[in-house]
């Protein structure tokens, strides 16, 4: 029981009745909003038996959609990771004109609708777009192919790694890197032995979130892919295709794959948070690492 003095007002939830009402509301709301749809997905996916589920997943179109989704993630996530590290390093370690503008540019994908981004790519790389004629003359296909899907996925996920690293690197300051360079360490050695160990958990956290969004992206990819069955459909697009074909069980079976990926993402996120919290307050000793 929490006791309050006459001058300290009680917090919301200190009273037993209010506390129980709040907890009950959160549990009911979370169950209806999150758990119920998950249960429906898996129950419908296996409603016709394990054999039908396996048949749906092994269908060539479904396998290609899974392959295309994984290939997109393998290409987009490393590039956005490199961009996030470079952007965070530039913003937190250097003073230059245009820093605020760079921060605004990093935030743009969060404020622009993915569908709008996909349409913008049509006007840039389409046949009537800015680079369309040159790409056609060079026989390079961007839209309605893997490059366009990767570009659209990179756009919507560009901020994830940078947003995780920038606040952490700002809080850490520049002292450790400056100490390392004063002891004769090169730039790469300073980054690998001083900076990277201090940001690795935030970096992995950003990579996990970026990967989850790439695999689940629908809006921008639906515009630039053309939704060609068995060729440019990623797994989210394939779920929609199966649903429009009135193959509801098949749609839920494909959706269950995305759901499993999301659950693994949540587990990885929780583990990374615990690892990062367990190592909080352990600053890297630059002198010990670069002086040897």
Per-residue pLDDT of the chain (292 residues; tens, 9 = 90+): 455 555 566 666 567 777 788 888 888 988 888 888 888 888 888 888 888 888 888 889 999 999 999 999 999 999 999 999 999 988 888 888 888 888 888 988 988 889 998 899 988 888 888 888 888 888 888 888 899 999 999 999 999 999 989 988 888 877 777 787 777 777 777 788 878 888 888 888 899 889 989 988 898 999 998 888 888 999 999 999 998 888 888 899 999 988 888 888 878 777 877 776 555 444 444 444 444 4
Q: What b/e sequence results for 191-224 when a residue is b if at least 16 CB atoms lie within 10 Å of its CB, and e otherwise?
A: bebbbeebbebbbbbbbbbbbbbbbbbbebbbbb
| 8 A C-beta contact, residue 123 and residue 133 | no
- 242-265 exposure pattern, b = at least 16 Cβ within 10 A, e = fewer: beeeeeebbbbbbbbbbbebeeeb
Give the pLDDT score at 283. 44
* φ, ψ dihedrals at 268, nearest 5°: -60, -40
3-state DSSP call for residue 230? coil
- What three-state secondary structure class fits 11? coil
Q: Is 50-290 a domain of CATH 3.90.190.20?
A: no
Contact status, residue 215 vs residue 235, Cβ threshold 8 Å: yes
- pLDDT for 6 equals 53
Which pair of structure tokens corresponds to residue 43? 């129950």
The rounded distance, in Å, linking the Cα atoms of 179 and 37 is: 53
pTM beyond 0.75: the answer is: yes
- The 3-state DSSP class for residue 186 equals coil
Residue in the structure block whose two tokens are 């979130």: 209
Cα–Cα dist 256/250, whole Å: 10
- Whole-number pLDDT of residue 278: 52
Where helices occur in the chain by DSSP H, the ranges are: 16-30, 36-45, 50-57, 60-93, 99-111, 114-125, 132-137, 146-157, 159-172, 175-182, 187-190, 196-216, 219-225, 235-244, 248-278, 286-290
Q: What is the pLDDT of residue 205?
A: 85
Neighbours of 98 (CB within 10 A): 10
What pLDDT shows up at residue 150?
94
């Amino acid at each position: 029981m929490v006791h309050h003095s006459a001058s300290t007002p009680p917090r919301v939830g200190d009273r037993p009745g209010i506390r129980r009402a709040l907890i009950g509301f959160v549990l009911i709301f979370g169950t209806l909003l999150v758990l119920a749809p998950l249960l429906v997905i898996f129950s419908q996916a296996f409603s016709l038996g394990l054999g039908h589920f396996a048949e749906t997943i092994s269908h060539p179109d479904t396998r290609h959609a899974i392959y295309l989704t994984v290939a997109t993630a393998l290409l987009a996530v490393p590039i956005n990771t490199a961009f996030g590290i470079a952007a965070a390093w530039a913003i937190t370690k250097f003073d230059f004109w245009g820093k605020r503008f760079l921060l605004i540019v990093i935030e743009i994908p969060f404020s622009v609708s993915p569908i709008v981004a996909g349409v913008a790519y049509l006007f840039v790389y389409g046949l009537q777009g800015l680079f369309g004629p040159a790409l056609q003359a060079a026989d390079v296909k961007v839209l309605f192919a893997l490059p366009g899907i990767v570009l659209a996925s990179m756009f919507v996920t560009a901020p994830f790694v940078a947003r995780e690293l920038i606040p952490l690197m700002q809080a850490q300051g520049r002292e450790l890197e400056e100490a390392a360079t004063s002891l004769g360490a090169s730039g790469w050695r300073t980054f690998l032995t001083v900076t990277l160990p201090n940001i690795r958990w935030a970096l992995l956290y950003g990579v996990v979130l970026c990967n989850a969004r790439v695999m689940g992206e629908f809006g921008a990819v639906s515009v630039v892919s053309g939704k060609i069955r068995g060729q440019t459909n990623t797994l989210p697009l394939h779920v929609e295709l199966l649903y429009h074909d009135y193959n509801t069980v098949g749609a839920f079976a494909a959706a269950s794959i995305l759901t499993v990926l999301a659950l693994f993402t949540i587990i990885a996120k929780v583990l990374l948070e615990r690892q990062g919290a367990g190592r909080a307050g352990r600053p890297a000793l630059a002198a010990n690492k670069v002086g040897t």
